Structure 1
Amino acid sequence: MAITLSTIAPTPTTRAYLSPANNFPGSCTTSSYNLTLSPTATVYKTVLASSSHARRSVSAAVSSSTGTADSSIGIGEETGSLLERVEVFDLNGNSILISDLWKDRKAVVAFARHFGCVLCRKRADMLAAKKDRMDASGVALVLIGPGSGDQARAFSEQTGFKGEVYADPSYASYKALSFVSGVTTTFTPLAALKIIEAYMEGYRQDWGLSFEKDTRTRGGWQQGGIIVAGPGISNISYIHKDKEAGDDPNVEEILKACCS
């Protein structure tokens, strides 16, 4: 079935969020982070047409946090086509098309930097803490990491993550979604501060996983993101692309996209 996508002129939507002080729980006492105001978010209308269905419009919400500007265009036809061919692997080593993870259901899908990353472990807990609300709305919680099945199993066992965990050893989903990568997106002042905060809260980097071949050969510079997708292979209703390590979106924004 042929699918074409065209983008109608964007309609800016101003959304401001006042983040509570407990966004930085525990021992973080930097008062300057108690109030955060996210930038304007923009909603784009994407029109989908297929050879067997009438044209319909779909709203694609975009993260209003500091994620990379590329996220403001949602996903295009090429991205959708690439995603449909991406295979990931479950903890038993079984392959599955990534689009099957949300073909018949709605899912929050988090893409980790790598399975040893301390900031990814904190993000996993942030999302898992909201799993009850996701469950109540029939929304699955999924985490995908670049690396091997062994790394994925180690992450799952170490963290006790409540959602589903999959490995993407080829980094194909990261390439399809154009997630950024590089030294300059990894070593930033804000990322360093967030690493210190994570350690103060008890999180730890797994250096063994971090220096395994699948991660080391790519330098560990890959960044991730979060999408809300499904039901439907091409239905991605929210996307956040990290512009740097630890660039977490507002969790209430994710819940609004998946559970409201």
Structure 2
Amino acid sequence: MSIAQKTKTSYADIRDISLVDFLDVETERTLLAHELWKDQATIVIVIRRPGCQFCREEAQIFDAQRETIENDMGIKMVCIVHEREGADEFQKEFWHGKVYHDQAKDFYKALGNGRLRTGGWGQLIHPSFWGNLIRNKRSGVKGNFIGDGSILGGVLLVQQGDQGLAYEHIEKVWGDIARADRVLEAASRVSGVAINKEKVLKAQKDHRALHDKMQASSLAAGKGKAQDQGGSEGSACALPEQVEAQQQQQQQQGV
């Protein structure tokens, strides 16, 4: 039975998106998105850039839930990228699952109601960005400067067949990753499989602990914000490293 939710993303906009299966295959093949969830519900993680430290962190978080989501609940998990460079490393080291290429960026457009949503230097005025940066630093997940990380992504839980969307998370600020506890709860509703409450409670507790640490930080209070120095929005995911270096330099200079 369908439990489709009211979402900003339209199912009609994602159903026939053309994707390319290009990793760990002898021959690349093109498929339509609805083939992914034809036989089983699917979590679709739409990432900004394979080398982005935030995207790698999110992949690692959900990869850790793979046994519960895929084996216990029978829900598939896939990642979508809009560029291939770095995808092989991303898959092997952080994701360990299927990755598909959305060359036309149609999933990204669907998350923006038909338009690409991008983030530039203006993202740095958001306190939540600094909180996300702190969280990422504590995770130990590192990234690189390769590719375009300006296009914002998100997470969708699509029900089997054409029953529609059951959950969505739309990234608004760099590093605004989906909460694992909420995705697990949505997956439980879709699959009908009771979730391990201890896992949900732990995810909630971890999230609250990170939130408290973020709020206590000087970065979260807005200190050390950088101004545009002519950097490229195309290197958006690399900006946290640049900003942190600028902040340290300012502190050394007594700014």
TM-score bin, normalised by smaller chain: 0.5 to 0.7
Q: SS of 2:155's equivalent?
A: strand
Q: SS of 1:182's equivalent?
A: coil
Spell out the pairing of 1:108-257 with structure 2 (5 A cutoff).
108-134=43-69, 135-148=71-84, 150-159=85-94, 161-178=95-112, 180-183=117-120, 186-187=123-124, 188-207=126-145, 210-211=146-147, 215=148, 220-257=149-186
* Equivalent position amino acid for 2:11 in 1: G
- In the alignment, the residues of structure 2 paired with residue 184 and residue 99 of structure 1 have an alpha-carbon distance, to the nearest angstrom, of 35
Is residue 15 of structure 2 the alignment partner of residue 101 of structure 1?
no
Identify, as 1 or 2, the structure richer in helix. Answer: 2
TM-score (norm 2): 0.63
Report the RMSD for the aligned CA atoms in angstroms.
2.3
- In the alignment, the residues of structure 2 paired with residue 231 and residue 248 of structure 1 have an alpha-carbon distance, to the nearest angstrom, of 24
Q: Tell me the residue number matched to 1:60.
A: 4
- In the alignment, the residues of structure 1 paired with residue 175 and residue 162 of structure 2 have an alpha-carbon distance, to the nearest angstrom, of 28
Q: Is the 8 A contact 1:185 1:245 kept in 2?
A: no
Q: SS of 1:60's equivalent?
A: coil
Q: Is the 8 A contact 1:115 1:155 kept in 2?
A: yes
- In the alignment, the residues of structure 2 paired with residue 242 and residue 124 of structure 1 have an alpha-carbon distance, to the nearest angstrom, of 14
Q: Tell me the residue number matched to 1:80.
A: 11
Q: SS of 1:132's equivalent?
A: helix
- In the alignment, the residues of structure 1 paired with residue 153 and residue 83 of structure 2 have an alpha-carbon distance, to the nearest angstrom, of 13
- In the alignment, the residues of structure 2 paired with residue 96 and residue 105 of structure 1 have an alpha-carbon distance, to the nearest angstrom, of 16
Relative to structure 1, the CA distance from residue 230 to residue 185 in structure 2 (aligned partners, 3 Å threshold; closer, same or farther) is farther
TM-score (norm 1): 0.62
Q: Percent identity?
A: 24
Question: Which consecutive unaligned segments of at least 5 residues does structure 1 have?
Answer: 1-56, 62-71
Query: Could you list the per-position Cα deviations for residues 58-81 of structure 1 after superposition, in whole angstroms to 9, with x for gaps in the alignment?
Result: 5434xxxxxxxxxx6444xxx333
Question: Which consecutive unaligned segments of at least 5 residues does structure 2 have?
Answer: 190-255
Q: Is the 8 A contact 2:57 2:139 kept in 1?
A: no
Relative to structure 1, the CA distance from residue 234 to residue 185 in structure 2 (aligned partners, 3 Å threshold; closer, same or farther) is farther
The alpha carbon displacement at 1:169 in A equals 2.0
Q: Is the 8 A contact 1:104 1:230 kept in 2?
A: no
Relative to structure 1, the CA distance from residue 197 to residue 257 in structure 2 (aligned partners, 3 Å threshold; closer, same or farther) is closer
The alpha carbon displacement at 1:234 in A equals 4.7
Relative to structure 1, the CA distance from residue 231 to residue 185 in structure 2 (aligned partners, 3 Å threshold; closer, same or farther) is farther
With 130-139 and 88-97 compared, the bigger mean Cα shift is at 88-97
- Aligned residue pairs: how many? 180
Q: Is the 8 A contact 1:227 1:236 kept in 2?
A: yes
Query: Could you list the per-position Cα deviations for residues 99-145 of structure 1 after superposition, in whole angstroms to 9, with x for gaps in the alignment?
Result: 21112101111111111110011111111111111121111111112
Relative to structure 1, the CA distance from residue 176 to residue 196 in structure 2 (aligned partners, 3 Å threshold; closer, same or farther) is same
Q: Is the 8 A contact 1:118 1:205 kept in 2?
A: yes
- In the alignment, the residues of structure 1 paired with residue 19 and residue 130 of structure 2 have an alpha-carbon distance, to the nearest angstrom, of 30
Q: Is the 8 A contact 2:119 2:173 kept in 1?
A: no
Relative to structure 1, the CA distance from residue 204 to residue 107 in structure 2 (aligned partners, 3 Å threshold; closer, same or farther) is same
The alpha carbon displacement at 1:84 in A equals 2.5
- In the alignment, the residues of structure 1 paired with residue 54 and residue 167 of structure 2 have an alpha-carbon distance, to the nearest angstrom, of 21
